């Protein structure tokens, strides 16, 4: 038994010498995986732990994630407790102190922006609330821009040899992305003031950016699936305050929003929410291209 | 380096900007000033960047670099400290950065310069993080469950089920915290239904040994098998499956030390070894000068595709019993055993969730096989008894908050000397088995209600058990294992 173990350990040690790029990035969500690739180019190898089809609040702490975290130099995550249900277990089991909370190898995007909806009282009776504020910052591309500067600095700090490379890529990204934001903002002008219903209360930053007006969420409390009784209440509210359309993220259960769509006679719009959420959202540019296109489509219906 | 010193200078300088109880106008002014500072910061960062590059290209003369940095920071500090004139504010309101793009919407606060990082949220806001688990049962059963029987096995104390009627299951309080950069601590105290507190776990772990190693020391649940390391409230069913009850007294926890090493491989591959005092079933009496139990285990696992993943484990436990006493339910007697117990466990877990998203529907299939031998002296009679067992179970969440599960479990013990006929080790030609069905409703990830039915054929009289259970967790409770 003991000999077998030693043998297996040696085998594993030798098998594990892949050619690494300079920085091994463990991105919790696809938007940060995409941003890491934009800034890091071929100097980083990016592993994205979740897909646009997954609810980032609820991920199983799968063995594959632990194995990837073991060799990571830096985690790039939303933070603000979005990943509290799974990431701490991954990090603990990964035995990798580089990415432990508070280390330079733990990058939380939400630390570099001002979070909205910081709760005044923390009570789980209020549902799945995040103590630091609403973490879904990637629904506003301006947040991505803010975070990109901090992330490029972090990459430079962790990999000083390529600091100039990261900074120049960051400058290039900033230029292209700023131009794209200007384009999206202009395209989205007709959306300003549009009343909408949302399935999960995850769009506050996008609403802020585009001037959308959230009439009602389909969840009675954040993270609590709606009962039919609550949906009836939502319908009543929508009669008094009609919404143009109801939006949900690609990963979300389609039933609540389809139900409301049918009963209230308003379109249900699926938004990518993150990179990979829809086929068109291939990267950060595609993400907002597609988001704006789908929102504008909702106005026409 | 240079940029940092300049940033420091900037921060110092901006701290000099008077900030008092501000009216709406002043707030706007302040915001504008902040914006201007932000713009200046960007400008200087860009300038410095180019300087840096140029310097690097040149001789990298450290002296020259320092003097430039000093000059730059002085310049900037002066500029930043100067109260901006109104026209400057107007200009600054449209910095080169994308702030002007927000024209379509109300300005949002993240546009302010160097936003104060929100305080990092740790696993908990308190030190230590205190969490409580509450557990309650109602059991209806055709026979009493007080003295559980499993034909052919001498059972440990904790192999039983809750008593009939209402009972408070184990309530737990846990305290978890980082002690310092090197160590973390965990303490879990449980109260059984007779109000006795038990130190379930109390251990320290290393945090930064590096190279994928961790060491754990104290009292803890062994890493063998699949469910052994999990607390009972984290199991998929209300009770441990038969082989865990028969071979390990529900689960093996003891005082000792554990070393784990995670291989730096693409697939998950973890090795672990433990040494324990040897004071809990199947060990007893802290044999071998208080190192009565040794274990070794390998865990491996990976994704099959986006929707499915697996975990496999192979575990070995060797324990010594020095006058282990167990109750004999038939004769109301006490049995004594001195000897060795060897046990191997093969564990397989498969999880499926459409697109990797378990929130709406998901399936967890798991099974473990046990094979072991007890050799020694049982009630003065030499024995060498091979035992085996397994369970398979599936739990399917068919809609949010609702899941259903089934489990089948069986154990077998080889025959023993006629001298032991009628004792706990006599299986009377019967293979203990149990079939269980479960319906679960989760009020949230922190609350759960269960209805579980078991046809328990472990003893000589079969028992039908209907169990209602609630489990709630509150306080900062760590994420759960796979």
Hey, are the CB atoms on A62 and B351 less than 8 Å from each other?
Answer: yes
- Residue B91: pLDDT band (50, 70, 90) is very low
Q: How many CB pairs under 8 A join A and B?
A: 216
Over chain B, what is the mean pLDDT? 80
- Decide: helix, strand or coil at residue B403: strand
Hey, are the CB atoms on B212 and A96 less than 8 Å from each other?
Answer: yes
Please tell me the predicted confidence (pLDDT) of residue B47.
Answer: 63
Give the other-Cβ count within 10 Å of B27's Cβ: 10
In chain B, the residue whose alpha carbon lies closest to the alpha carbon of A254 is: B360
Superfamily holding A19-183: Nitrogenase molybdenum iron protein domain (3.40.50.1980)
Q: What is the 8-class DSSP label of residue A277?
A: S
For residues B14 and A148, which has the higher predicted lDDT (pLDDT)? A148
Contacts of A224 in chain B (CB under 8 A): 444
The torsion defined by the Cα of B156, B162, B164 and B167, in degrees rounded to 10, comes to 140
CA atoms of B25 and B32, how far apart (whole Å): 11
The torsion defined by the Cα of A141, A146, A147 and A152, in degrees rounded to 10, comes to 120
Sorted by sequence, the CB contacts under 8 Å of residue B32 that are 6+ apart come out as: B84, B89, B90, B92, B93
Radius of gyration for the alpha carbons in chain A, expressed in angstroms and rounded: 21
- Residue B339: pLDDT band (50, 70, 90) is very high
Of residues B49, B296, B357, nearest to A167 (C-beta): B49
CA atoms of A180 and A282, how far apart (whole Å): 15
Contacts of B112 in chain A (CB under 8 A): 114
Contact A56, A76 (CB under 8 A): no
For residues A244 and A300, which has the higher predicted lDDT (pLDDT)? A244
Using DSSP, how many helices (H) and how many strands (E) does chain A show? 10, 8
- Residue A153: pLDDT band (50, 70, 90) is very high
Burial (CB count within 10 angstroms: exposed 0-12, middle 13-18, buried 19+), residue A220: middle
Site from B4, B110, B354 to mutate, A interface, most A CB atoms within 10 angstroms? B110
Å between B183 CA and nearest CA of chain A: 11
A145 interfacial to chain B (CB closer than 8 Å): yes
Contacts of A12 in chain B (CB under 8 A): 263-265, 269
A179 interfacial to chain B (CB closer than 8 Å): no
**CATH code for the domain defined by A189-300:** 3.40.50.1980
When mean pLDDT is compared over A107-121, B74-88, B290-304, the highest value belongs to B290-304
Å between A81 CA and nearest CA of chain B: 7
Specify the range with the lowest mean pLDDT, choosing from A188-192, A234-238, B120-124: B120-124
Hey, are the CB atoms on A114 and B209 less than 8 Å from each other?
Answer: no
Q: Residues B201, B206, B211, CA angle at the centre, nearest 5°?
A: 135
**Where do the domains of chain A lie?**
19-183, 189-300
Pull the structure tokens for residue B87.
């026209």
Distance (Å) of CA B73 to CA A83, B13, B432:
39, 10, 80
Sheet holding A245-249, edge to edge: A213-217, A195-198, A245-249, A268-271
Hey, are the CB atoms on B358 and A60 less than 8 Å from each other?
Answer: yes
In chain B, the residue whose alpha carbon lies closest to the alpha carbon of A72 is: B264
Taking residues B275-300, report their average pLDDT.
94
Burial (CB count within 10 angstroms: exposed 0-12, middle 13-18, buried 19+), residue B207: middle
Site from A63, A69, A226 to mutate, B interface, most B CB atoms within 10 angstroms? A63
Please tell me the predicted confidence (pLDDT) of residue A253.
Answer: 87
- Decide: helix, strand or coil at residue B134: strand
Most distant pair of Cα atoms in chain B: their distance = 104
CA atoms of B236 and B481, how far apart (whole Å): 12
Please tell me the predicted confidence (pLDDT) of residue B311.
Answer: 97
What is the percentage of chain A residues whose pLDDT exceeds 90? Answer: 72
Contact B122, A116 (CB under 8 A): no
Give the other-Cβ count within 10 Å of B384's Cβ: 12
In tens, the pLDDT along B400-443 reads 899 999 999 999 999 888 888 888 888 888 899 999 999 999 99
Please tell me the predicted confidence (pLDDT) of residue B139.
Answer: 94
Hey, are the CB atoms on B108 and A209 less than 8 Å from each other?
Answer: yes
For residues A296 and A300, which has the higher predicted lDDT (pLDDT)? A296
- Residue B53: pLDDT band (50, 70, 90) is low
> In sequence order, what are the beta bridge partners of B259?
B215, B273
Task: Please identify which residue in the block is written with the tokens 């939380």.
Answer: A108
Å between B431 CA and nearest CA of chain A: 30
- Residue B13: pLDDT band (50, 70, 90) is very low
The string of DSSP codes covering B42-56 is HHHHHHHHHHHHHHH
Pull the structure tokens for residue A297.
């489509």
Pull the structure tokens for residue B124.
């908990």
In tens, the pLDDT along B201-249 reads 999 999 888 889 999 999 999 999 999 999 988 899 999 999 999 999 9
Taking residues B165-185, report their average pLDDT.
89
Give the other-Cβ count within 10 Å of A253's Cβ: 19
What are chain B's domains? Answer: 2-104 (no CATH), 131-474 (2.40.160.10)
Contacts of B105 in chain A (CB under 8 A): 192, 208-211
Domain A189-300 in the same topology as domain A19-183: yes
Taking residues B109-136, report their average pLDDT.
62
In chain B, the residue whose alpha carbon lies closest to the alpha carbon of A221 is: B444
**By C-alpha distance, which of B409, B413, B407 is closest to B282?**
B413
Taking residues B168-184, report their average pLDDT.
88
CA atoms of B78 and B96, how far apart (whole Å): 21
A176 interfacial to chain B (CB closer than 8 Å): no
Hey, are the CB atoms on A224 and B444 less than 8 Å from each other?
Answer: yes
pTM (two decimals): 0.79
């Amino acid at each position: 038994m003991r000999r077998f173990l030693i043998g297996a350990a040696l085998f594993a040690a030798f098998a594990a010498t892949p050619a690494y790029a300079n920085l091994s990035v463990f991105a919790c969500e696809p938007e940060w995986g995409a941003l890491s690739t934009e800034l890091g180019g071929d100097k980083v190898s990016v592993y994205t732990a979740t897909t646009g089809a997954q609810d980032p609040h609820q991920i199983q702490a799968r063995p594959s994630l632990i194995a990837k975290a073991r060799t990571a130099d830096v985690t790039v995550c939303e933070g603000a407790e979005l990943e509290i249900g799974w990431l701490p277990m991954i990090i603990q089991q990964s035995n990798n102190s580089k990415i432990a909370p508070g280390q330079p190898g733990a990058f939380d995007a939400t630390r570099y922006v001002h979070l909205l909806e910081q709760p005044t009282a923390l009570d789980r009776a209020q549902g799945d609330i995040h103590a630091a504020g609403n973490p879904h910052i990637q629904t506003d591309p301006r947040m991505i821009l803010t975070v990109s500067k901090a992330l490029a600095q972090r990459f430079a700090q962790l990999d000083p040899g390529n600091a100039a490379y990261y900074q120049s890529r960051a400058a290039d990204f900033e230029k292209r992305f700023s131009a794209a934001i200007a384009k999206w903002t202009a395209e989205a002008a007709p959306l300003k003031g549009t009343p909408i219903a949302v399935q999960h209360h995850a769009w506050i930053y996008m609403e802020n950016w585009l001037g959308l007006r959230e009439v009602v969420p389909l969840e009675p409390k954040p993270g609590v699936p709606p009962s039919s009784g609550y949906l009836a209440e939502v319908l009543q509210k929508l009669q008094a305050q009609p919404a143009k359309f109801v939006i949900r993220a690609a990963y979300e259960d389609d039933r609540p929003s389809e139900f409301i769509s049918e009963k209230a006679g308003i379109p249900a719009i699926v938004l990518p929410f993150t990179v990979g959420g829809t086929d068109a959202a291939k990267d950060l540019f595609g993400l907002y291209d597609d988001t704006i296109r789908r929102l504008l489509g909702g106005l026409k219906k | 380096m240079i940029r940092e010193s300049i940033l420091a200078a900037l921060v110092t300088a901006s701290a000099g900007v008077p900030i008092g109880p501000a009216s709406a106008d002043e707030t706007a002014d302040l915001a504008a000033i902040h914006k201007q500072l932000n713009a200046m910061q960007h400008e200087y960062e860009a300038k410095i960047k180019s300087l840096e590059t140029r310097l690097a290209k040149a001789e990298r003369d450290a002296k020259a670099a320092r003097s430039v940095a000093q000059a730059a920071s002085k310049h900037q500090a002066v500029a930043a400290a100067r109260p901006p004139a109104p026209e400057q504010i107007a200009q600054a309101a449209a910095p080169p950065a994308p702030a002007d793009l927000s024209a379509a919407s109300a300005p949002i606060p993240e546009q302010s310069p160097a936003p104060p990082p929100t305080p990092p949220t740790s696993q908990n806001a308190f030190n230590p993080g205190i969490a409580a688990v509450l557990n309650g049962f109602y059991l209806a059963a055709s026979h009493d469950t007080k003295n559980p029987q499993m034909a052919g096995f001498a059972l440990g104390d904790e192999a039983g089920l809750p008593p009939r009627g209402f009972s408070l299951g184990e309530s737990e309080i846990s305290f978890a915290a980082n002690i310092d950069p090197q160590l973390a601590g965990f303490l879990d105290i449980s109260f059984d239904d007779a109000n006795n507190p038990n130190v379930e776990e109390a251990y320290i772990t290393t945090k930064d040994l590096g190279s994928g190693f961790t060491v754990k020391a104290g009292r803890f649940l062994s890493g063998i098998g699949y469910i052994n390391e999990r607390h009972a409230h984290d199991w998929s069913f209300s009770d441990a499956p038969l082989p865990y009850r028969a071979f390990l007294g529900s689960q093996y926890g003891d005082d000792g030390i554990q070393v784990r090493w995670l291989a730096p491989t693409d697939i998950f591959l973890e090795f672990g070894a433990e040494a324990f005092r040897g004071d809990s079933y199947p060990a007893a009496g802290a044999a071998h000068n208080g190192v009565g139990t040794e274990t070794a285990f390998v865990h491996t696992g990976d994704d099959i595709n986006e929707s499915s993943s697996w975990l496999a484990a192979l575990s070995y436990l060797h324990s010594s019993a020095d006058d282990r006493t167990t109750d004999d339910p038939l004769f109301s007697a006490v049995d004594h055993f001195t000897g060795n117990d060897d046990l191997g466990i093969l564990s397989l877990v498969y999880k499926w969730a459409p697109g990797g998203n378990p929130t709406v529907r998901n399936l967890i299939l798991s099974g473990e096989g046990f094979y072991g031998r007890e050799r020694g002296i049982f009630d003065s009679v030499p024995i060498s008894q091979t035992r085996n067992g397994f369970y398979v179970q599936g739990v399917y969440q068919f809609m949010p908050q609702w899941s259903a599960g089934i489990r089948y479990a069986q154990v077998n013990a080889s025959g023993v000397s006629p001298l032991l006929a009628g004792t706990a080790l006599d299986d009377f030609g019967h293979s203990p088995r149990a079939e269980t069905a479960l319906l679960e409703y989760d009020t949230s990830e922190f609350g759960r209600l269960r209805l579980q039915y078991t046809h328990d054929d472990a003893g000589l009289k079969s028992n039908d058990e209907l169990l209602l259970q609630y489990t709630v967790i509150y306080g900062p409770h760590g994420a759960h294992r796979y």
